[in-house]
Each structure stands twice: as structure tokens, then as C-alpha cells.
Amino acid sequence: MPTSAPPTPSRNYTPVLQRLRARGTRDEVMRAVVNTLWDQFHAQGVSWVGFYTVDPTNPEHLVLGPRRDKPACSPIELHGACGRCFTSRRPLVVTDVAKLGTGYIACDPRDRSEVVVPAFNPGGSVWGVLDVDSHETNAFDVADAMALMRMLRHVALSAHLEETENDVVVV
């Protein structure tokens, strides 16, 4: 069955892709991704951008990596949105964090929605997630998740070969 074309994101990710290259260490590339996404989308309702990676001392936790523009919770358990994305290996769009109930980890109580995408090692395991938050409900959609997945692949932070909009979980 042919796959449909991915939806067009409401945000323009072209300038992000043009600015980013797969150069440097993983940490350097993550920092470049975070800074570029923040610079491009902060004025469009993005309140936080960051990576969480597996805690080397406890694989049941994720620890904060490069982020903008404020601190966040770390370490976090796998029951929140980031953990759910990490364990399911699927992008997650949370249209309203209230829908997650006790499953939501509130680092900033003003956040109302988020999009989280997994980053894959070449062998297929997930090494971390990219999390983007907003103080507005319904700030992200499937197109954002798809564009962020393509961006991670573009900068060699993810070896995921292909994604479809059916892969994205929307809550």
C-alpha cells in the first residue's frame, strides 16, 4: 500500500534544515538543534526545547541534555510524555497536557502542550528524545512531529529510516 505524503507543518522547518548540519559530537549537534529550533520558533509559541537521554546509572530514567531556555526536571521516570515516547519508540503529540493526568511530569506548570520525538541508534534502539513544549494548548500537530523526525535524521542524530503520520501518537 503506498504511503501518503506527510502533512505540511504549520511551522516552516526549511530554515532549520538549511542551518543545521551533521557536524561535531552528538552533544554539539544536539546543542545546535536546540539553539536553532529555539531561535526559529520561540516567537511562534515554543516555550522550551530540549533533549532527554538515557541515564547511564539507571536505564529506568531519562536525564536532561542540551535545552533552551530554562532548566527542567532531571532525572525523570518513564511514565511522562518523554518516557512514553522513549518506551513506545513513537513520536508523541500532546494537544493538552491535562489529558495525561497523573502521567504528566510538569517541569513548568505553564506548559499546556508538547511534541516529543525519539532518536534512534543505527541498531534501532532509542538513545533519547527531543521534547518541544508550549504554553498554548494544541500548539503542535502530526506535521510538527514528522518534521522533527526528518530533522533529527538530517543531522544524523537519528538512524530512523522512515516515518509515516500513522506512527505519531496524538493525545
pTM across the whole model: 0.89
Q: Encode the chain (171 residues) as per-residue pLDDT tens digits.
A: 344 444 555 789 999 999 998 889 999 999 999 999 999 999 999 999 999 999 999 989 999 999 998 778 888 888 889 999 999 999 999 999 988 877 777 777 888 999 999 999 999 999 999 999 999 999 999 999 999 999 999 999 999 777 778 888 899
- Cell (9 digits) for 62: 531519562
- CA–CA distances in Å: residue 143 to residues 3, 16, 17, 74: 15, 15, 15, 28
| Sequence spans of domains, the chain | 14-170
Q: Tell me whether strands 169-170 and 58-68 are parallel, antiparallel or unpaired.
A: unpaired
Superfamily of segment(s) 14-170: GAF domain (3.30.450.40)
- Cell (9 digits) for 143: 506535521
